[in-house]
Structure 1
Amino acid sequence: MAVKKGDMVRAICEKLENSLEAKASDTRFPSYLFETKGEILDVKGDYALIKFGKVPTPNVWLRVDQLEEFK
């Protein structure tokens, strides 16, 4: 999936589980990663910086292949 700044996405649970990112942190990912719209703020190589939801949550870097368009 080609992504660009401003796209709305959400994380794909199956691709995030057992990933390098999951092994490097707490594997209990918050539900908002999969259930709310996330706006891509920046893209660097294979990773995108995403801001999720309207409530204060930390921005997160995820691999582009772990994302899908949020319709």
Structure 2
Amino acid sequence: MASQIKKGMLVRVIKENLENSLEGKASDKRFPSYIFQTKGEILDLNDEYALIQFSAPTPSVWLRVDQLEIL
């Protein structure tokens, strides 16, 4: 999947993959609903992670590419 994701693509976060991940278990369980309900744009890629920008004024966030669904 990592090879399929490119800068500028629109993605949505897969809730189950994020909640059951090491990062999800180490973080506050109250994820903002917009990351699951809205589209995010890939701004940058780094190995197995993608920097995603959701609608402004939200901050950009790094997530693993296996936690993303291409739209």
* Distance (Å, rounded) in 1 between the aligned partners of 2:26 and 2:19: 11
1:15 to 2:17 alignment: yes
1:1-71 matches, cutoff 5 A: 1=1, 2-53=4-55, 55-70=56-71
Identical-pair percentage = 70
Q: Which runs of 4+ in 1 moved over 2 A?
A: none
State the superposition RMSD in angstroms: 1.0
* Distance (Å, rounded) in 1 between the aligned partners of 2:68 and 2:26: 18
Instruction: Mark the runs of 5 or more structure 2 residues left unpaired by the alignment.
Output: none
* Distance (Å, rounded) in 2 between the aligned partners of 1:60 and 1:21: 12
TM-score by length of 2: 0.90
* Distance (Å, rounded) in 2 between the aligned partners of 1:34 and 1:60: 13
TM-score by length of 1: 0.90
Shift of 1:49: 0.2
Instruction: Mark the runs of 5 or more structure 1 residues left unpaired by the alignment.
Output: none
